[in-house]
Structure 1
């Protein structure tokens, strides 16, 4: 995987932990590409937790509407802005327990922020990651927390963040949910699930998605 995706990284655009936290919340049920189209105006308008805490709801909803579920996301973003101001001096905390207590933040979002904004190892169990580790027979679990812990036992913590990026990249580009491009996959010889998708090289090559995804 390291040879296949040496440049794998978080595909959300951000310059600080707060921006990444907000972008990750927006990415729920939305593509990173769409989020990255929305966040330049959003981040220019709101530059601090206090800005989000005091945001005009209608204005905020208008800026994030195209990411979907905008009312729920606006509630989370305003709520986390208030919580950050009330409990963390307006700063995004760099530990898992504190992050998951913020509105709209679960373990997946927390691990994205920890791994990419703070350099703290974390496994991001999104839909791609979960699908691939089950296809690789690394786990049979479907519960994200159980998947996180079981995969964490297989790899040293220093590899967790990049492992997450590489599996997510492979899932987006090759190992799709409905029709994985098995015949175009460089991992085919080692994959116990080879054959779930077309094995013919030409057919599989047409299924490869090269992006960009950001």
Structure 2
């Protein structure tokens, strides 16, 4: 039967199939994951959903928000899958914030990436110790302190105290030295021996500290004045 004029062609839905499993691996899950003891699975997305996200990451120029809207997967999960799986984006695709170069990263992003950087530094130091024929006690203690620092950042320390220090023009103003002392005190309370920690790890912590200008009362946006 001929199609009426000015009728758009039918839309065919393409189904993304997962890659064939390697020898010895279980087949891909293409249905909802079963519940265990009435509780939902900690991995609610099936393998087909993961493949759909990967397809959009590697072939489209959509940002993470648009991919999240299309697939129903949160941006945090998309970012974690792309990072752990080593997925590559097209050259003209927008760059994710967690893959922004350190030179362009803001203070908040540096704070989020601090635990990852400390963990990578600890792994590198441990790898160097394993390859070394003679292990110095000082080097071993330095690696141990970096591991403690990475653990504290991964666990999430208490909210840093508000800036306090000498005031200018009647507003509270904190100096960089006060912020450094506060961060080092929190590390000491977590069991880190600052004197034995390597300078590279301490520089990562100091570099991730927020700038005093970010929370200055005079720079906050004023609300509407009450009548």
Structures share fold, TM-score greater than 0.5: no
Q: TM-score, normalised by structure 2?
A: 0.30
Higher relative contact order, structure no. (Cα contacts within 8 Å, ≥ 6 residues apart): 1
Per residue, is there more helix in 1 or in 2? 1
Q: TM-score, normalised by structure 1?
A: 0.31
* Structure having the higher Rg: 2
